[in-house]
Every structure is written in structure tokens, then in C-alpha cells.
Amino acid sequence: MTGEGERIAKRLARAGLCSRRTAETWIAAGRVCVNGKTLSGPGVTVTADDVILVDGKPVPEPERTRLWRYHKPTGLVTTERDPQGRPTVFEKLPAELPRVVSVGRLDLNSEGLLVFL
């Protein structure tokens, strides 16, 4: 993290709690506090010195960036949840992995290397 800090939604996502978009919904719902103040919007920059709570619990330190690779076979979609109920690459990843995000996509009928952060 740089000396200037980072946006609160990104900080929550880097801590592995949720996506940035989900963090914004948590903020709107009043679930996120910074230094004792409940946030009303996501336009807040935080630093390592700030105390951040979600639902009253401290937010863990962000993990270092790690990289995983996965050979996607045909027949899987590259999305976390598919509204059509098709199998996803996320369902096939090892259960012990932390929350990961795919870099890029391959379509249903393609196979090849996917990278996850």
C-alpha cells in the first residue's frame, strides 16, 4: 500500500472479505466503520493507521498478492456464479484456496490457461 492510502472498497477486497462492488453495498447498508464512524458512501481513502470494522469486527490485514494458474477444460464458464446453472471454474478450484479473482476469461467452449489472483 502506498503512503496515500487506498479506497475503502479496495481495502476490503484486498483483505479477502468480498468484491469491491459488494463492499460498496456493505457501506451503503451501514456495515462498515472507519475510526469509529459509520460510512455513508464509498468515497473514503484509508491508510494502515485507520481502524476498519465490518459488522463490528476488525478487518484483517490484506494478504500479499499471490498468483495461481488453472488449465480450464471446455464446458466450464469463467464466472463465479452462472445464472443458467452451468458449471464454473470456481466450483472446480481446490477448496483450500482463498477468495480468488480470475484475470481474463475463456468462453464455454474454449480450453486453456487461466490466471487467478
User: Alpha-carbon torsion 7, 10, 15, 21, what sign?
Assistant: positive
* Known catalytic membership, residue 107: yes
Task: Specify whether the CB–CB gap between 49 and 4 falls below 8 A.
Answer: no
User: Alpha-carbon torsion 17, 18, 24, 30, what sign?
Assistant: negative
Among all residues, which ones are annotated catalytic? 107
